[in-house]
Amino acid sequence: MDWITLLVVPAIKSLVLIILLLLGFAYLTYYERKVLARFHARYGPNRAGPLGLLQPIADALKAIFKEEIIPGHVDKPIYLLAPVLALIPALVAYAVIPIGPSITLFGQQINLFIADVNIGFLYILAVASVGTYGVILAGWSSNNKYATLGSLRTSAQMISYELALGTMLAAIVLTTSLATGTGSLSLVELVQTPRPLWLWAWLWLGFPIVFICMLAETNRSPFDFPETENELVAGFQTEYGGIKFALFFMAEYIHMIVASGVMVTVFFGGYRGPFVDELPLLGVLYFVLKVILVLFLFLWVRASVPRARYDQLMAFNWKFLLELSLVYLAITAVIVAFV
């Protein structure tokens, strides 16, 4: 029984999670097209299957069977490795995010997360940083000036906005220490920790800062500078096509799902909701609905906010967002010290 608990159950949970993330990526593209179509007063996907629901499957088949072209001037081993290096961190980042409470299945207690580690926040930041290497290596190995500029933009953007994001996460950890007496970085403990309403209100004030940082971290509009078509053709992925391009596309959308899962866990109680204690699986439904709503914010921003210049992106972080996050951290520290 011990080996089942230690090996088989985590392996099954990991496989199920990966399948769900891949399925979520596919239908996030459908969700985005439908939402943007509403904003633009058009139909969106409506031909492939009922209501266009088979459109993601059609897109996947198209990417798989599309002709592969590898330019002769690329550094081939790194060129082929880069899309995989971008995708894998996006998949494994979800391991520390709880999507529901513990359930009993076939007499076995199953935790609806892969791992509960007391460095959950640091794990996600570290894994997301590894994914950035895939983008950087893609640009470098392409031996293309547009691709190289796109990859350099990715590295500068990630370094800049992770400072503000890390500062905000430090403030969130302080609020956890106020509620529990310990400064744990575990996302599981964060969800299970009750907080008074005034503390939730203070957390929600920090949500816009974290959301903006997540937009930059996931390279989403209006911060999609590493792949700006009006300046860099397609940026770091200029020389990629077919399934290799699809892997980068997949990584970006799964990063959106991961970012939404983190924000739901931190700011909106994760899977917590009415009657979860009586019906544990209801927690999974709450979590999924909350993630869908946060993803809607990503799409709403894309439909509404135009892309700025790259220098404006960097100035916004260094001259405004970082200072704002430091002020938020300082005030949080005072609250924790005196409450």
**Residues 21, 98: contact at Cβ < 8 Å?**
no
Entry pTM:
0.87
Q: What's the farthest any 2 CA atoms get from each other in the chain?
A: 64
Tens digit of each residue's pLDDT (9 = 90 or more) over 161-219: 888 888 888 888 887 776 655 666 778 888 877 777 888 888 888 899 999 888 888 87
Q: Which residues pair with 103 in a beta bridge?
A: 110
**Residues 254, 263: contact at Cβ < 8 Å?**
no
The token duo for 201 is: 């209100």
Q: What is the pLDDT of residue 83?
A: 83
**Average pLDDT score over the chain:** 81
Span of 56-60, 229-233, 318-322, 330-334 with lowest mean pLDDT: 229-233
Q: What is the pLDDT of residue 2?
A: 62
C-alpha span between 283 and 250 (Å, rounded): 26
pLDDT band (50, 70, 90) for residue 6? low
Which residues are CB-neighbours of 243 under 8 A, at least 6 positions away?
A: 63, 64, 66, 68
Alpha-helical segments (H) within 238-306: 242-267, 281-304
Residue boundaries of the structural domains of the chain = 68-338
Q: What is the pLDDT of residue 162?
A: 81
Query: Is 70 exceeded by the pLDDT of residue 275?
Result: yes
Query: Is 90 exceeded by the pLDDT of residue 284?
Result: no
Q: What is the pLDDT of residue 295?
A: 92
Residue 110 sits at φ, ψ, to 5 deg, of -115, 120
Question: For residue 70, with 0-12 CB atoms within 10 Å meaning exposed, 13-18 middle and 19 or more buried, which class applies?
Answer: middle
Q: What is the pLDDT of residue 67?
A: 76
The token duo for 271 is: 């899977």
The token duo for 298 is: 């990503």
Tens digit of each residue's pLDDT (9 = 90 or more) over 37-72: 888 888 888 888 788 888 888 888 887 887 777 777
Which residues are CB-neighbours of 20 under 8 A, at least 6 positions away?
A: none
Query: What radius of gyration, in Å, describes the C-alpha atoms of the chain?
Result: 21
pLDDT band (50, 70, 90) for residue 281? confident
pLDDT band (50, 70, 90) for residue 303? confident
